[in-house]
A and B are shown apart, each in its own frame.
Chain A
Amino acid sequence: KNQVEQSPQSLIILEGKNCTLQCNYTVSPFSNLRWYKQDTGRGPVSLTIMTFSENTKSNGRYTATLDADTKQSSLHITASQLSDSASYICVVSGMDGGGSYIPTFGRGTSLIVHP
């Protein structure tokens, strides 16, 4: 069964500090891995998309890494801001038993940035 596990479940940091969120998956065969940011009451917003051949991708202060061998990804946030307070969701797309490519979502990491 395809699974995506994220850690930590929640994280509290001070404004200006860096942090790293983790994502482990068992999705196979693998198509791509995405990180999303979801503010409370809003739809998710895409941060990065990575395929099998990519191991690092940046989007401003967000840098995602992917190790396809160990099936692990991380999202590093540099110089955090109050507006970074949100849920960060890891999504891995792979093929299910019926031949369809479907996304499997992690439960998310809830990040709170304090002033």
Chain B
Amino acid sequence: KAGVTQTPRYLIKTRGQQVTLSCSPISGHRSVSWYQQTPGQGLQFLFEYFSETQRNKGNFPGRFSGRQFSNSRSEMNVSTLELGDSALYLCASSLGRPNTEAFFGQGTRLTVV
């Protein structure tokens, strides 16, 4: 059974640009959540999508957005990139039922210069 796949693994962007990250969940999983991990703040929750609808949202500015497709694949977009957006972006998939296990991808390392 294939795991959670995130693409690309590494990305370098310039301030002011926008970026789109992709996450393919485990087959059968309908929930995809996104997280930002930095040395200064640790792991922080961005948002969760379930059946193409945003179900939960963390405390991030509107520059961070996402969507989910009918095949449960999800994309995350960050517009007007800032240096502070440099981070490891992780996604996790699950069945979406309460208290079920979430499986993380390897992450996308974004560097903003």
Cβ < 8 Å to A, chain B residues 55-113: 55-58, 90, 92, 98-107
Selected interface stretch from A10-18, A20-28, A44-52, A66-74:
A44-52
Q: Known A43-B104, A43-B107, A51-B99; judge A103-B45 contact (CB<8 A).
A: yes
Bound CA–CA A43/B45 (angstroms): 14
Min CB–CB distance A31 → chain B (angstroms): 7
Q: Which of B55, B56, B105, B107 has the most CB of A within 10 A?
A: B56
Q: Mark A91-113, 1 if CB is under 8 A from B, else 0.
A: 10000001011111111100000
Let me know if B56 and A107 touch, CB within 8 A. Answer: no
Let me know if B106 and A46 touch, CB within 8 A. Answer: no
Let me know if A105 and B101 touch, CB within 8 A. Answer: no
Let me know if A43 and B105 touch, CB within 8 A. Answer: yes
Q: Which of B45, B57, B105 has the most CB of A within 10 A?
A: B45
Choose among B45, B57, B58, B104 the residue that contacts A44 (Cβ–Cβ < 8 A). Answer: B104
Let me know if B45 and A45 touch, CB within 8 A. Answer: no
* Chain B residues whose C-beta falls within 8 Å of the C-beta of A49 in the assembled complex: 99-101
Q: Is B28 part of the binding interface, using a Cβ–Cβ cutoff of 8 Å?
A: no
Q: Mark A25-43, 1 if CB is under 8 A from B, else 0.
A: 0000001101000000011
Q: Is A89 part of the binding interface, using a Cβ–Cβ cutoff of 8 Å?
A: yes
Bound CA–CA A42/B92 (angstroms): 12
Bound CA–CA A17/B42 (angstroms): 28
* Chain A residues whose C-beta falls within 8 Å of the C-beta of B107 in the assembled complex: 42-43
* Chain B residues whose C-beta falls within 8 Å of the C-beta of A89 in the assembled complex: 42-43
Min CB–CB distance A29 → chain B (angstroms): 13
* Chain B residues whose C-beta falls within 8 Å of the C-beta of A101 in the assembled complex: 56
Min CB–CB distance B68 → chain A (angstroms): 16
Q: What are 9 of the A-B contact pairs (CB < 8 Å)?
A: A31-B99, A42-B107, A44-B43, A45-B104, A51-B99, A100-B57, A102-B58, A103-B45, A108-B42
Q: Apart from A100-B56, A103-B45, A105-B42, list 12 A-B contacts with CB within 8 A.
A: A31-B98, A32-B98, A32-B99, A42-B107, A43-B4, A49-B99, A49-B100, A89-B43, A91-B43, A105-B43, A105-B44, A105-B45
